[in-house]
Structures are given as structure tokens and as C-alpha cells.
Structure 1
Amino acid sequence: MKPAVILISATLALSAFASQQAHAFGQLGHRIIGEIAQNNLSESAQNQINALTKGESLAQMSTWADEIRSDKNWYHSSPWHYVSIEDDETWDTVKRNPKGDIIQSLEKYEKILKSDKVSEQDKWEALAFYVHFVGDIHQPLHVGHSHDRGGNSVKLKWFGDDTNLHSVWDSKLIEHQKLSYTEYTKFISRIAGKDIKEWEGKSYYDWADESKALRDATYKLEKNRDDQPDLRFQYIFDHTATVELRLQQAGIRLADKLNIIFAK
């Protein structure tokens, strides 16, 4: 049994179904990112990660950080999945959450992964969180407005069914393609070398700025005849390219970071 799995209580097991329903993006989008990253790891990183995870893939472990949120022992981790910043704020002026945010968490877990003085269990947890948070920060609404909770308070319809804007970007735009995570990964894995070079080497703040720049477009909602926001094929057509770009960038950047961390 993997060291970190011991920490997951029986309560989590009983609530697994509810957790899966609440975190559908973790079921597909995070696994796509993990699979892209796995396919771009160096031999050194691959070997060290396999030893740490006992052969569990990045795609498999990518959902853990969402699944544990059903366990009361991990309720405190919820703010780590996002950061709030308004359009007119900068990273120098914004008031950061004292309970932590996604940028602080990425910095924290990168340090743990680089350390030779932590337990195997702590390092496994750090890797699981890190894999997940690299994905989250590339979703535009995880660098969101505090007043609408990153689009969670923006109620709308998806093909006539009630939902919210954040859920559309977490899961529905990806799930609409009706592909498994391995199929989706194959569909979007043809990435030009020049793009890879352009994406690599940027900071966590750069990644967050990209999401911040993209989020305004997510609020341009398709409406039905009654002038109600009811997202359908036009919204999918308008935003699928952005979703797939962010999946690609997250996967490539995750591999790049892990190749550096596990270079020795």
C-alpha cells in the first residue's frame, strides 16, 4: 500500500461516489495532464517517480488532491486549489489568503520534492498535490474573482440543465468530447517543438497571469430565446481550443518541472 493512502480515512471511502460527482474535472482533465506529463518525462525523472509511487502513474495520482477534500482531516486544503485576484490588482497589491493559495502551495511542494530530508510519505503527498495543482492553475477560473468564487456563483444552464460557470470549465467542456483520458491525450499530443520551448521555463505567476488573461472570455455566455444563459454548441466551439491549449501547457510544464526536480 502506498504511504499516503494510509492517511485516507474510512470516511473518504464511504463518500467516494459523492466526491467523484463533485470533482469531475479531476476524473478526466487532471488525468489528461498527468498522461501528457508522463509521456514527456526524462529517464531519470521516470525512474525516480516510479520508485516513489511504486509504479502508480501521474494520471492515477492526479485526482488524489480532490478526493481527500471529502475527508474532514483535509478540509483545510480547499484554499490551496485556487487564488483570487481582481482585474485591476497585481501580485504586489492583491491581498492573499492567509490560509494559503495555489501559488504558495506549488512553491511549498516543489521545495518538499527537492528536499532530501523528508519522509517517503511526505514526498508522495507532495508529488500528488503538485501534479494536481499544476493542472488547477491552468484552468482560468482557478485564478478567479473572489466576488463570484471563481465562477461558482454564476448560475446558468448547460444544454438546459442547471449548473454554474466554474463547473463548465472544470468538467463539461472536456466531457462533451466523449473521450477517455487516454484517447483525449492522443488527440492533443501533437505539440510543436517551438511551442514546448515557449511554454517551458515560466514561473507560477506567469502561469497564473495567463489564466487571469483568459478568464474574461469565459463570461461571454451563450443565451437562449428567453435571454437566459444556456450554454450549448456555440460556447463549446468558442472555447474548446482554449481548454485543450491549457491541458497541453499544463502537461508539458508539469513534465518540465519534474524533469528538473528529479534530474539527479
Structure 2
Amino acid sequence: MKMFRFAIAALPALLCAAPASAYWEFGHQTVARIAYANIAPRTRAAVRRLLAETPRLDTPSCPATTIEGASTWADCVKPLKGPDGKPRFGYAYNWHFQDVDICQPFSLEEACRDGNCVSAQITRDMAILKDRRAGPKARAQALVFLIHFVGDLHQPLHAGEKHDKGGNDLAAAYGSYSPKRFNLHSIWDGTLAERAITSGPSLVRRYSAAERQRIAAGTVEDWSRESYQVAHDVVYASALRGDPCAPSPAKVTLDEATIERIVPVARLEVERGGLRLAKLLDAALG
């Protein structure tokens, strides 16, 4: 499930150095840092203890002993192979998203069949973390998955789509920047997320109790529905000039006016992800 500072002219230099994977590191790390700044001291201590157990996962090329490393671990391990040559964590591929059609009524039934979707795995990881009888390795893995998946859920194209692999099949330009293979998903994963996170005051701070209660209200299903609605109302509507369910062209362009209009939405999604992750960590570990 990777999520955002600069003018259009600065994009080429930034993007050449950026990783091409889900919700780029900056987004996931920011969600995790917001959460870490807003959990209770007792929860923070429990998180540190479990992160110290992550070497048991035997993924030395993907260290997760810090909150930042934990936030990107689930993406980092995707290419790791087992002794049989097959992906060690291939079973978790579908856990990063849920393909809910934005042009149909919201429902998780089909998208989460057999628990193979991001919201179902968030619930599963919470149950493992709450179970003090679960071994340290199991709880450490549940923690790093949870930290990552809450970030994924708040990237709207991980929660709603139009039979286009969450926008991956829809070629897109970001202002005047349009490298080969750029698409709507990569914009929301990286360039837009980068810009949103770095626009305005830092999102990483201690929020007031009232802010935390307001932003983190609801359940995982409520957050799924909300993210799906953002995909409908903002992501596709802005890309398709107002009608999110209109047939998609071969390529869309987000002009500067559109980008300025949707930056606050992308920024809010990161903020929501961080404070909701904090709520879940306190519930499971505090």
C-alpha cells in the first residue's frame, strides 16, 4: 500500500531519483511518523520492543527496526525469493489494495474475498497484535504489515478503481511532466504525495486530543468507504474533467490548476492515515 514540495520545474530531478513502487517511501514514512508522534508513551515503548524483534523475520536487506523502516518493509520484501526460487511473500501481494469499482455501490464482499484485501489484513494484524500469546515473530510481522497497510488504505487508488489496476493502466501527465510509463497511480503514489506532504506546516506533530478524535473517528470499513469515495470524487473526477465514470481516454493530464486543487486532499489522506494508525496502535498495544 508509497504516499508528497516543489514547482513543476523541479520535477525531473526529483523523479529520476524516486523509487517506482507503491506509495513511495516518503508517504509511508510520513504516515508512520505522524502515528509515532501521537501514540501513548506505553504504546511507543511496545512498538520499539516489537521492532527490535523484526530481525527474526530474516529479511536483512529490508530492515524494519525503526518506524520508518517498518513503514516500507512490506514493499521492500516483495521481490525476495525463497529457497524454491518463488517470492517468499507472494501470498501477500493482494493485501496491499482492494479493487472496489468506484462506479458501483461500495461493497467489500467481492474485493475482500477470503480476506485478500488491505482492510481485512488490517483487522487480522490488529488481532495478532492484541494476542499476547502470539510469538514475538508473529507479532513483529503483524506490526510492520499494519503500519504499511494503513498507509496503503489511505492512498485512494488502493481503495477504489475503474478496472484499470488502480489507475496503473491509465497513462497520465503531471502538469508538463510526462515520462514514459507515468500513470494516474504513480502520480498519487509519488509526485502528488511528495508535493502535498511538503506544502504548508509539517504534518508530523503532536495533534490535539480533539483533532485526533475527529480525524481518527470511525472503523476500518468506514475508512475504506471514505477512501473509495475520494477515488470517485477527486482522483477520477479530476482526471476525467468532472465525470469519474466517463470512459477513460488513452491518457489524461492533470494541469497546474487541478494539482493545486487536489493537493489539500492528498495532504489530508496522509494525515488521516497517520492519526488512524496511531489509534489502532494504541488500541492494540497501549
Coarse TM-score class (shorter-chain normalised): 0.7 to 0.9
Look up the match of 1:10: none
**Alpha-carbon contact 1:83-1:144 (below 8 Å) kept:** yes
Letter in 2 for 1:149: K
Look up the match of 1:48: 46
| 1:260 equivalenced with 2:283 (yes/no) | yes
Letter in 1 for 2:284: I
Look up the match of 1:165: 184
Look up the match of 2:239: 221
Look up the match of 2:88: 73
CA distance in 2, matches of 1:177, 1:145: 21
Look up the match of 1:17: none
> TM-score by structure 2 length?
0.75
| 1:36 equivalenced with 2:51 (yes/no) | no
| 1:248 equivalenced with 2:271 (yes/no) | yes
Shift of 1:176: 3.8
Shift of 1:251: 0.6
Look up the match of 1:6: none
Question: Which residue of 242, 259, 275 corresponds with 1:236?
Answer: 259
**Alpha-carbon contact 1:137-1:143 (below 8 Å) kept:** yes
CA distance in 1, matches of 2:66, 2:92: 23
CA distance in 1, matches of 2:197, 2:281: 30
3-state DSSP of counterpart to 1:83: coil
**Alpha-carbon contact 2:22-2:189 (below 8 Å) kept:** yes
3-state DSSP of counterpart to 2:149: helix
Change (3 A) 1:108 1:184: farther
CA distance in 1, matches of 2:76, 2:162: 24
CA distance in 2, matches of 1:135, 1:95: 18
Deviations 1:94-148 (A, max 9, x none): 4534461111111111111011222211111100000000111111111122611
Shift of 1:185: 7.9
Which portions of structure 1, spanning 4 or more consecutive aligned residues, are displaced by more than 3 angstroms? Answer: 92-99, 176-179, 187-195
CA distance in 1, matches of 2:96, 2:111: 17
Task: Show structure 2 runs of 5+ residues with no match.
Answer: 1-17, 54-64, 81-86, 242-249
Higher helix share: 1
Task: Show structure 1 runs of 5+ residues with no match.
Answer: 1-19
**Alpha-carbon contact 2:38-2:278 (below 8 Å) kept:** yes
Letter in 1 for 2:263: T
3-state DSSP of counterpart to 1:122: helix
**Alpha-carbon contact 1:26-1:62 (below 8 Å) kept:** no
Change (3 A) 1:255 1:96: closer
| 1:117 equivalenced with 2:133 (yes/no) | yes
Letter in 1 for 2:45: N
CA distance in 2, matches of 1:185, 1:66: 28
Look up the match of 1:85: 100
Shift of 1:153: 0.9
Shift of 1:194: 3.3
Shift of 1:21: 2.4
Deviations 1:55-103 (A, max 9, x none): 9332221000011111211122110011112232333764534461111
CA distance in 1, matches of 2:31, 2:218: 17
CA distance in 1, matches of 2:109, 2:22: 33
**Alpha-carbon contact 1:85-1:143 (below 8 Å) kept:** yes
Deviations 1:205-246 (A, max 9, x none): 1001111111122122289xxx96233422320111011101
| 1:154 equivalenced with 2:177 (yes/no) | no
Cα RMSD over matched residues? 2.7
Q: What percentage of residue pairs aligned between the two structures are identical? A: 25
Change (3 A) 1:188 1:80: same
